[in-house]
Amino acid sequence: MILRSSAAKFPVFLYKIFIPIKLPLISAKDNRVVTFFLTIKENKVGQSIFCAFVVIALAGVCYLSTNFLGYKVVALILLLLVSALAMVFDIIPVLISAILSALIWNFFFIPPAFSFHIDNTEDFLMFLMYFVVASVNAVLTFKIRQAEKRARDKEEKEKTIKLYNTLLNSLSHELRTPISTIIGAVDTLKAENIPQNIQQELLDEIDTASVRLNRQVENLLNMSRLETGIIKLNFDWCDMNEIVFSVTHKLKHHQHQIQFTEDDKLPLFKLDRILMEQILDNIIRNAIQYTPEKTTIKIQVSHQQEYCMIQISDNGNGFPESEIGFAFDKFYRLPQSKVGGTGLGLSIAKGFVEAHQGNIQLQNGSEGGAEFTIRIPCETSYLNHLKNE
């Protein structure tokens, strides 16, 4: 009889408590779960209300299952809930949930029910232990989270400093060299009685240095776009044969053999043309810079199901197996590699491929040399289909 009357009273008791707490939670912006949690994470009052609500709700479920669980098991369940809340919320709301759960456990579960009086010495000690463990657990978990956050912040700061140092060291050479070349050539051109052939050589040096300087600035801007996530793709129907020819035609002053066989059966791919040109340009330039002269660079483009597949390979020395995993990292350059380059090219290429929802892989070819494989999902269409549209 006592259990039945208690069970009848408890839902009414919960209802009176739930109503003032539940209404403001339901009115969270757009009633979306994500917005709700973001809102309470920024508000300690909201955290406290949410923690209290969760403790009361779980206590209600446990109360209805008291005959199966027993009040000692309920203590473990509530303690587990407090531990879970401590992993997410601030210290004050968690302490409130710890104290509230202890009081609820005492009032509704420890005999005699609906009283804060405890007759049994063992139950009294259990209650004190629960109260202490719940409170200490909340404090320690919060302290651990703070320590982890400080460690993460310190690690991020160290990474940022290292990144800036690497950037400055790289740019001190990569930007200064072409600028010095341009200034020196211009100063020489200002002199009188310079032979025509010398003037042409100086103009060629200015042209080469300007292109190099422009490329480095573009790499920095592209990396900035990738870091801030502001890239917006401009999709259009692209002829990959034309894009490859356009990229290879722009590459000058190298002693490598670039091989590409046009495939007339390729469909048109819906891609961002500018980004695709940048991807190919960066990978091919990387091969030119880090392979011996007269190395052969092969480019293959194919259509597999709904994917555009691009393979760029060379017969150079390849990558050390231990270094392949770092090849796409920002500012990474192979150890003992020759001077030149900022180590951004492959990282930018990877970022632009992933902006297309694709992936890029690097491996050493079976006969030596590096092999880049690009796989991009995209719409395809043949020219006659577009004309019909």
pTM of the model: 0.53
The CATH number that domain 235-388 falls under is 3.30.565.10
Residue 365: per-residue pLDDT: 85
Residue type at 371 in one-letter notation = E
Helices (H) and strands (E) in the chain, counts: 13, 8
Give strand pairing partners of 360: 374
Q: 91 to each of 36, 142, 386, how far by Cα in Å?
A: 20, 6, 62
CB 244 within 8 A of CB 280: yes
Strands (E) across 222-369 are located at 235-238, 257-260, 268-272, 296-304, 307-314, 359-364
Q: Please report the pLDDT score of residue 242 as a whole number.
A: 94
For 372, what's the count of Cα atoms within 13 Å in the CB-facing half-sphere?
Answer: 26
What φ, ψ does residue 306 adopt, rounded to 5°?
-105, 30
pLDDT at res. 270: 93
**In a 3-state reduction of DSSP, which class is residue 381?**
strand
Residues 373, 361 contacting (CB under 8 angstroms) = yes
Amino acid at 341: G
d(CA 269, CA 291): 31
State the Cα–Cα distance between residues 347 and 351, nearest whole angstrom: 6
Q: Which residue has the tokens 């000058």?
A: 252
| Long-range contacts of 112-121, Cβ-Cβ distance < 8 Å, separation of 24 or more | 113/2, 113/6, 114/6, 114/9
Ordered per-residue pLDDT tens for the chain, 389 residues: 333 344 334 334 433 433 343 334 443 344 455 555 556 566 778 788 888 888 888 888 888 887 778 888 888 888 888 878 877 787 788 788 888 888 888 888 888 888 888 777 877 887 788 778 777 777 787 788 788 888 888 887 777 676 666 556 656 666 777 888 888 888 888 877 788 888 888 888 888 788 778 877 777 777 677 766 777 888 999 999 999 999 998 887 778 999 998 888 899 999 999 899 989 998 998 888 888 888 999 999 999 888 999 999 998 888 888 888 888 887 777 766 655 556 778 888 898 899 899 999 999 988 888 999 999 999 988 765 555 55
* DSSP structural state of residue 92: H
**Residues listed for the chain:** 389
Domain boundaries, the chain: 2-149, 175-228, 235-388
Closest by CA position to 307, among listed 267, 274, 347: 267
Residue holding tokens 């587990």?
A: 80
Give pLDDT, residue 17.
38
